[in-house]
Amino acid sequence: MTIGAAQPNDNVPIVLVIDDCVDVHRLLAARLRNEALELVCETSGEAGIERVHQIEPSLVLLDLDMPGMDGFEVLRRLKDETSTSDVPVIVLSGMQSPSDKVTAFDLGAVDYITKPFDLMELRVRIRSALKMRHLIQMLAQRAQIDGLTGLWNRAHFDERWADETKRAERSGSPLSLAVFDLDHFKQVNDTYGHPAGDTVLQGVARLIQNIARQADIACRYGGEEFAIIMPDTTPEHAINLCERIRVAIIEADWHGKPGQRITISAGVAGSTGQTSIGRAEWIEVADRNLYRSKSEGRNRASMTDVGSKGPRLADAG
Ligand SMILES: [Mg+2]
């Protein structure tokens, strides 16, 4: 399963210290030695911001009083930019006035610790900020997973499809899209009930996930519809993969109902390289092929090469 792939710094979080005083760096390095984190230090706001872009830290410990760009400005700039606005920032400051604290929180700091700090307190606040970030990331990821099947959901599909079409356009690399629909799924629900229908959807999703390759993005597109985005895949290879899925599904035994056969129809649109087709039109072509598979008797896959040579129809199954 490729779902839930860990971020590179998920195991050992990187904590970036931005403080003009190197004694603070030394103190933190010594006192946080036994924490499960990697400490990186910068002595100026400018260098700190650059570092955030480079290493994407899990947490920033930020001093307010620094020559040149002060901590407030660093905070403002981090929060103003989409790529860095989610990085949690704990302010570590000698400034004790309530108005400084209010300003720091208003600018988006998650916590404020006054110097000289108590190290036990610092440790628990760092742990708490890291835990919160982990939970937020997990929730964001869960929001893109289909609850019933564990595949990616439609929202994720839309995001990735936009990314992958852009990438293929830039690099001129092949790209294919397959859409599937379970044949006569309403009959399964009507005959065996909705829980049985859900079991079939889960089983089909599992077969799709097993056959799809690491780089493929398998999604539940809606109801009984599935989609697979296949980066770097020609339409010929894509339809082969669809065929393997179609055969695996027709051969599967559904628990307690040995006579029951489930079939799928599929439509593929793919390009071997450059294509002038837009990303919405690409989905329409795949959909049209799905309906063509349906109208030609179901339990089959149809394909169109949307490459520069112009649409070319082919089918299998
Ligand atoms: Mg300072």
pLDDT in tens, 11-41: 799 999 999 999 999 999 999 999 999 999 9
Q: Where are the domains of the chain?
A: 14-142, 154-316
Question: What's the mean pLDDT when you consider all of the chain?
Answer: 90
pLDDT for position 9: 43
Question: Ligand 1: distance of its center to the CA of 33 in Å?
Answer: 22
Distances in Å between the Cα of 184 and the Cα atoms of 14, 260, 263 are 52, 12, 8
pLDDT at residue 127 greater than cutoff 70: yes
Q: How far apart are CA 125 and CA 176, in angstroms?
A: 47
Helix or strand run (H / E) with residue 247: helix 235-251
pLDDT at residue 4 greater than cutoff 50: no
Q: Which amino acid is at 263?
A: T
What does the pLDDT average to over 67-89? 94
Confidence of residue 94 (pLDDT cuts 50, 70, 90): confident
What does the pLDDT average to over 43-62? 96
Question: Ligand 1: distance of its center to the CA of 108 in Å?
Answer: 19
Question: Ligand 1: distance of its center to the CA of 96 in Å?
Answer: 13
Q: How far apart are CA 168 and CA 271, in angstroms?
A: 9
Question: Ligand 1: distance of its center to the CA of 65 in Å?
Answer: 4
pLDDT at residue 310 greater than cutoff 60: no
Which pair of structure tokens corresponds to residue 242? 């669809």
**Using an 8 Å Cβ cutoff, are 273 and 260 in contact?**
no
pLDDT for position 241: 97
Please count the CA atoms within 13 angstroms of the CA of 278 that sit on its side-chain side.
Answer: 3
pLDDT for position 201: 95
Question: Ligand 1: distance of its center to the CA of 17 in Å?
Answer: 11
**Using an 8 Å Cβ cutoff, are 229 and 279 in contact?**
no
Whether the pTM exceeds 0.75: the reply is: no
pLDDT for position 237: 96
Task: Please tell me which residue, 190 or 245, carries the higher pLDDT value.
Answer: 245
Please count the CA atoms within 13 angstroms of the CA of 264 that sit on its side-chain side.
Answer: 30
Residues with CB under 5 A from ligand 1 (ion): 20, 63, 65-66
Q: Which CATH class is domain 154-316?
A: alpha beta
Confidence of residue 191 (pLDDT cuts 50, 70, 90): confident
pLDDT at residue 157 greater than cutoff 60: yes
Least confident of 46-50, 79-83, 243-247: 79-83
Question: Ligand 1: distance of its center to the CA of 100 in Å?
Answer: 14
**Using an 8 Å Cβ cutoff, are 180 and 225 in contact?**
yes
* Residue found by looking up tokens 């795949």 in the block: 286
Q: How far apart are CA 169 and CA 163, in angstroms?
A: 10
pLDDT for position 256: 65
pLDDT at residue 10 greater than cutoff 60: no
Q: How far apart are CA 125 and CA 279, in angstroms?
A: 46
Catalytic positions are 224
Question: Ligand 1: distance of its center to the CA of 121 in Å?
Answer: 20
Least confident of 51-55, 124-128, 139-143: 139-143
pLDDT for position 316: 52
Question: Ligand 1: distance of its center to the CA of 49 in Å?
Answer: 16
Give the number of other Cβ atoms within 10 Å of residue 169's Cβ. 16
pLDDT for position 276: 83
Question: Ligand 1: distance of its center to the CA of 36 in Å?
Answer: 26
pLDDT for position 6: 37
Which pair of structure tokens corresponds to residue 165? 């079409």
Peptide bond into 98 cis (omega under 30): no
Q: Give per-residue pLDDT as tens, 210-265.
A: 999 999 999 999 999 999 999 999 999 999 999 999 999 999 988 766 677 899 99
pLDDT at residue 57 greater than cutoff 80: yes
CATH topology (fold) of 14-142: Rossmann fold (3.40.50)
Tell me the β-bridge partners of 315: 302
